[in-house]
Amino acid sequence: MGNLSDNIRNPIRIFIVDDHEIVRQGLKVIINQEQDFELVGESNGQKGLLKEIAEAHPDVLLLDIRISGSDGFDIASQLNEKFPSIKILIISGYESELYLVEALDHKVSGFIPKGSSRDYVCSAIRMVALGGTVWHGELLYRVIRGLSRLGNEPNDTKVQIEKSHLKPRELKVLSLLAKGKLNKEICFELQISMDTVKKDIHQLKSKYGVFNRTQLATIATEMQLK
């Protein structure tokens, strides 16, 4: 992205929102090593977050999308409404097309993985502070490829992208979960073993960053699988 710090006069005021302390600590180390960065606050995303952000007056907010008790995208929506000047850069551990599309829908300034290098994170922060955008290249490519392959009807784009990165059996399992089927019933309907069902459900939880069957069923309903 080149050297962007020369184009920014004042230190970039940064606020971190992530429920994992080790992630916040890592980002703080990066921020404190840069002369043009200033850490003005951090939060685990719990109650009082909007008040903390309002008092800190950040230029850039580093946001996780999976926060205990909160949804990063809901936070992004509230921030866009109350503090439209704040640039939101999502740093996520989930590299899924679904989340990138969600980020685009919520008009954030960027989406990069937590495994990004120190230099990439710094450049991304500077880029969004200047009003630019930063998107995970591989994920964006997969989204564009999915759209071109599926014909992207406007009202069905997101659903098709979500379906496109699942295997056929995973789609069937997800659909049966949405209907309230138990594992043994899924085994019977799909003629697969219990271990296979458990493995598929585990994979689905991992792909969507959720923790239980109810959350998967909700996702399936949103995907019109029920």
pLDDT band at residue 155 under the 50/70/90 scheme: very low
Angle between helices 168-178 and 213-222 (to 10 degrees): 100
CATH code assigned to 166-222: 1.10.10.10
Q: How far apart are CA 91 and CA 30, in angstroms?
A: 14
Which residues, including other chains, have CB under 8 Å from residue 36's CB and lie 6 or more apart?
A: 5, 8, 11, 12, 126
CATH label, 5-140, candidates 1.20.1050.10, 2.130.10.10, 3.40.50.11540, 3.40.50.2300: 3.40.50.2300
At 146, phi and psi to the nearest 5? -65, -40
Residue-wise pLDDT for 172-223, tens only, equals: 898 898 888 889 999 999 999 999 999 998 888 776 666 677 777 777 776 6
Q: Where are the domains of the chain?
A: 5-140, 166-222
CA neighbor of 93 nearest in space, from 111, 68, 73: 111
pLDDT at 32: 95
Q: What is the chain's length?
A: 226
Classify residue 135 as left (phi > 0), alpha (psi -120 to 50) or beta.
beta
User: Strands across the sheet with 87-92, in order?
Assistant: 37-43, 12-17, 60-63, 87-92, 110-113, 134-135
For range 135-151, the mean pLDDT: 57
At 88, phi and psi to the nearest 5? -105, 120
Residue-wise pLDDT for 24-80, tens only, equals: 999 999 999 999 999 999 998 877 889 999 999 999 999 998 777 677 888 898 999
For range 143-166, the mean pLDDT: 53
Q: How far apart are CA 131 and CA 144, in angstroms?
A: 23
Render 126-172 in DSSP notation, one character per residue.
Answer: HHHHTT--EE-HHHHHHHHHHHHHHT--TTTHHHHHHHHTS-HHHHH
For tokens 């630019």, the residue is 132
Mean of all residue pLDDT scores within the chain: 81
Model's pTM, two decimal places? 0.62
Residue-wise pLDDT for 118-130, tens only, equals: 999 999 999 999 9
Percentage, residues of the chain above pLDDT 70 = 76
